[in-house]
Chains A and B, each alone.
Chain A
Amino acid sequence: MSARVYLPRDAAALAVGADDVAQALSAAAQRRGVTLEIIRTGSRGLFWLEPMLEVATSEGRVAYGPVEASDAETLLDAILAGGGPHRLRLGPTEAIPFLKRQTRLTFARCGITDPLSLHDYRAAGGYRGLDRALSLGPAAIVETVVESGLRGRGGAGFPTGIKWRTAREAVGQPKYIVCNADEGDSGTYADRMIMEGDPFCLIEGMTIAAIAIGAAKGFIYIRSEYPHAIATMEAALAIARRDGRLGTNVAGSGHAFDIEIRVGAGAYVCGEETALLDSLEGKRGMVRAKPPLPAHRGLFGRPTVVNNVLSLAAVPTILADGADAYRDLGMGRSRGTMPIQLAGNVRYGGLFETAFGVTLGGLVDDIGGGTLSGRPVRAVQVGGPLGAYFPRALFDTPFDYEAFAQRDGLIGHGGVVVFDDTVDMAYQARFAMEFCAIESCGKCTPCRIGSTRGVEVIDRIVRGEKREANLALLEDLCGTLKFGSLCALGGFTPYPVMSALRYFPEDFGARNGAVPA
């Protein structure tokens, strides 16, 4: 007898015992003398169900989860029965509502294929984008990406195609493609999932970008907190080189392109593109003034495209299926899909890729199922540590760059962190300032010093010392940070601080719930 099952090797699955499950299943199969093929995949992104085991059946895959090593014997019964009954049986994977409601373009393969099988990658539609790109040529590749409406998924939302066009037209060689995989925002893990679950997709996206702008060298700057992503990407690069997908003659096209991985060293600010470039050059990760734009003078002073993992990973599908198919999804100026990441105190936490336009309330209450603790949702921080805290009253905000900006927030890299009613919003505001103080690169005075003063001022407000004067001072300080900082670290730290104060004044000891102006 033999059977095939799929079990994630994603770090979040390993963190809850996926390796133990794999070992227990292997041992149980061996004891019974049956052949069990366990294919380790990326994660489907349904983290409350991890480790999630899938069994290959004649009617597609059947899921079980969250499984534990101690379930191995009974799971093996179910596996050998071809996806048979079990108390953890979830039914056909694709029919799980959380998955069924998504539009997976960037994450089309993640959790399904063996991340390090080029054969699987191609069989599941991989490298169709590069084939199309090669037939189009550099100028048409850039115009396709412009027409798709793709905007930077790292958070800034700058049109990716315009960036490419600028770098393509810039004079000077060599040119570089830099992938920003310094995914430091709390509540985000989509970059990590792609790198661990579908690394060739990122390689393909970078290759297309390189051909478009005329670059022969690419770097992926991965944060050191992601050891599994680093290992998987390194392995995937070696496979791509062996297969002639990277090297002096990419896929027989005559283009030369190769990619090198560089590992960060625990500095959040290096997620800012110019600090990242300094770090890549082996320096302190200090933010640079713009202009010059990196597209003109970037890495080692050369024309450089810096794109987030998700931006680059969206490129293959855009090239393969055309700009229109991508642009037809979404709302307003936010086109295509966004891999949204539900995190924190949420019942159904995970990756939800969908067209722009879904409301925050729909994400948190409907898709996320409210809090994990079962208590009422009180606040939601969207867009990482520099994102605003939204109260229930703003749950009608659609997931869209402009709609969030209009409400003094940002969608950032798509992280949605849910808090229940036990949260102390004065503490969260203080933490935002503290985090800014810890991670400031030190270049701008408002960020370097203002963040520390911000912690002190919030402490005084909470202690009730000269309340009104200190509230005015905090607001003034936030204005200085916002307008006097070069990058988003100092510039956006006021978002979580001021939103906490505006929407949750009662946590700051405000009398009569008065809203500070």
Chain B
Amino acid sequence: MPAWQEARARQIIEAHRTVDGPALVILHALQREFGFISDEAVALVADALNLTRAEVHGIVTFYHDFRREPAGRHVLKLCRAEACQALGGERLAAHGQSRLGITWGGTTADGGVTLEPVFCLGLCASGPAALIDGRPVGRLDAARLDRLLDEVSS
């Protein structure tokens, strides 16, 4: 992810400012570019949309997707919802947490992996399921999860 550049951020905001109801569109675009929504970004968006920083902060923190700090190099989203629970999803999550040494929302000390809960990926007949860096994986078990984590950490 590139470091914060105000000029680039302004460009992104300007590119989307005139769509109907632009706030989420802009926040998604900023997070895609910089990896998270910084305080500087909140201030710029507020200014561009004629909102208060508190209002933009309210939007950013309402939605689970928006990060206030950078994620690790890889993001593992493990499904915690019922269909995956029915196939041992919670046990798998516990295994993943202990192997990575982090809990939900945490990032490993080396900055390698961020672990996030997700409530349903629509892979409910192929669970337990996960997204790793946006790639769907299904029929997970502890061994397969370990292999995935080995792949991304190598």
Whether the pair B28, A372 counts as a contact (CB closer than 8 A) is no
Whether the pair A344, B118 counts as a contact (CB closer than 8 A) is no
Whether the pair B124, A186 counts as a contact (CB closer than 8 A) is yes
Whether the pair B65, A265 counts as a contact (CB closer than 8 A) is yes
Given A227-B134, A267-B62, is A47 in contact with B119 using a C-beta cutoff of 8 Å? no
In the complex formed, the residue of A with least CB distance to B27 is A265
Chain A residues near B64 (CB-CB < 8 A): 265-267
Whether the pair A189, B123 counts as a contact (CB closer than 8 A) is yes
Given A265-B63, A282-B59, A283-B59, is A346 in contact with B125 using a C-beta cutoff of 8 Å? yes
Whether the pair A15, B59 counts as a contact (CB closer than 8 A) is no
Q: Is B86 an interface residue (CB 8 A)?
A: yes
State A343–B84 Cα separation when bound (angstroms): 9
Q: Is B20 an interface residue (CB 8 A)?
A: yes
Whether the pair B123, A187 counts as a contact (CB closer than 8 A) is no
Q: Is A207 an interface residue (CB 8 A)?
A: no
Query: Secondary structure at chain A's binding surface: helix, strand, loop or mixed?
Result: mixed
Chain A residues near B58 (CB-CB < 8 A): 284
Chain B residues near A435 (CB-CB < 8 A): 119
A359-367, A415-423, A444-452 - interface stretch: A415-423
Chain B residues near A280 (CB-CB < 8 A): 21
Whether the pair B59, A343 counts as a contact (CB closer than 8 A) is no
Q: Is B75 an interface residue (CB 8 A)?
A: no
Whether the pair B136, A189 counts as a contact (CB closer than 8 A) is no
Chain A residues near B63 (CB-CB < 8 A): 264-267, 285
Q: Is B4 an interface residue (CB 8 A)?
A: no
State A280–B21 Cα separation when bound (angstroms): 6
Interchain nearest-CB distance for A357 vs B (Å): 22
Whether the pair B82, A439 counts as a contact (CB closer than 8 A) is no
Whether the pair A345, B120 counts as a contact (CB closer than 8 A) is no
Q: Is B131 an interface residue (CB 8 A)?
A: yes
Within 8 A of B (CB), among A288-318: 300
Q: Is A144 an interface residue (CB 8 A)?
A: no
Contacting residue for A192 out of B20, B25, B122, CB 8 A = B122
State A285–B49 Cα separation when bound (angstroms): 18
Whether the pair A282, B21 counts as a contact (CB closer than 8 A) is yes
Q: Is B94 an interface residue (CB 8 A)?
A: no
Whether the pair B82, A284 counts as a contact (CB closer than 8 A) is no
Given A186-B120, A227-B134, is A15 in contact with B83 using a C-beta cutoff of 8 Å? no
In the complex formed, the residue of A with least CB distance to B118 is A225
Interchain nearest-CB distance for B134 vs A (Å): 5
Q: Is B22 an interface residue (CB 8 A)?
A: yes
Interchain nearest-CB distance for B67 vs A (Å): 11
In the complex formed, the residue of A with least CB distance to B137 is A15
Whether the pair A15, B124 counts as a contact (CB closer than 8 A) is no
Interchain nearest-CB distance for A171 vs B (Å): 21
In the complex formed, the residue of A with least CB distance to B26 is A282
Q: Is A400 an interface residue (CB 8 A)?
A: no
Chain A residues near B136 (CB-CB < 8 A): 11-12, 14-15, 228
Whether the pair A15, B129 counts as a contact (CB closer than 8 A) is yes
Q: Is B97 an interface residue (CB 8 A)?
A: no
One digit per residue, 1 when the CB lies within 8 angstroms of any chain A CB and 0 when it does not, for chain B 95-115 equals 000000000000000000000
Whether the pair A345, B86 counts as a contact (CB closer than 8 A) is yes
Whether the pair A343, B20 counts as a contact (CB closer than 8 A) is no
State A267–B49 Cα separation when bound (angstroms): 22
Q: Is A431 an interface residue (CB 8 A)?
A: yes
Interchain nearest-CB distance for B152 vs A (Å): 16
Q: Is B73 an interface residue (CB 8 A)?
A: no
Whether the pair B28, A265 counts as a contact (CB closer than 8 A) is yes
Q: Is B38 an interface residue (CB 8 A)?
A: no
Chain A residues near B83 (CB-CB < 8 A): 186-187, 343-344, 415, 417
In the complex formed, the residue of B with least CB distance to A193 is B122
In the complex formed, the residue of A with least CB distance to B119 is A268
Chain B residues near A281 (CB-CB < 8 A): 20-21
Whether the pair A350, B118 counts as a contact (CB closer than 8 A) is no
Chain A residues near B21 (CB-CB < 8 A): 280-283, 300
Q: Is A279 an interface residue (CB 8 A)?
A: yes
Contacting residue for A283 out of B19, B23, B81, B126, CB 8 A = B23
One digit per residue, 1 when the CB lies within 8 angstroms of any chain B CB and 0 when it does not, for chain A 403-444 equals 000000000000101111001000010010001001101000
State A420–B28 Cα separation when bound (angstroms): 40
Contacting residue for B84 out of A11, A48, A186, A225, CB 8 A = A186
Chain A residues near B118 (CB-CB < 8 A): 225, 266
Chain B residues near A228 (CB-CB < 8 A): 136
Chain B residues near A201 (CB-CB < 8 A): none
Whether the pair A428, B82 counts as a contact (CB closer than 8 A) is yes
Given A300-B21, A372-B87, is A342 in contact with B121 using a C-beta cutoff of 8 Å? no
State A200–B49 Cα separation when bound (angstroms): 34
In the complex formed, the residue of A with least CB distance to B58 is A284
What are 9 A-B interface contacts by the 8 Å CB criterion? Answer: A187-B81, A225-B120, A225-B121, A228-B136, A265-B64, A266-B64, A281-B21, A282-B21, A283-B21
- 19 further interface pairs, Cβ-Cβ under 8 Å (given A187-B83, A228-B136, A282-B21): A16-B126, A47-B126, A183-B122, A225-B122, A225-B131, A227-B131, A263-B24, A264-B63, A265-B65, A266-B63, A300-B20, A343-B127, A344-B127, A349-B124, A349-B126, A415-B83, A417-B82, A439-B119, A441-B62
Residues of A within 8 A of B (CB): 11-12, 14-16, 47-48, 50, 183-189, 191-192, 224-228, 260, 262-268, 279-285, 300, 341-346, 349-350, 372, 381, 385, 415, 417-420, 423, 428, 431, 435, 438-439, 441
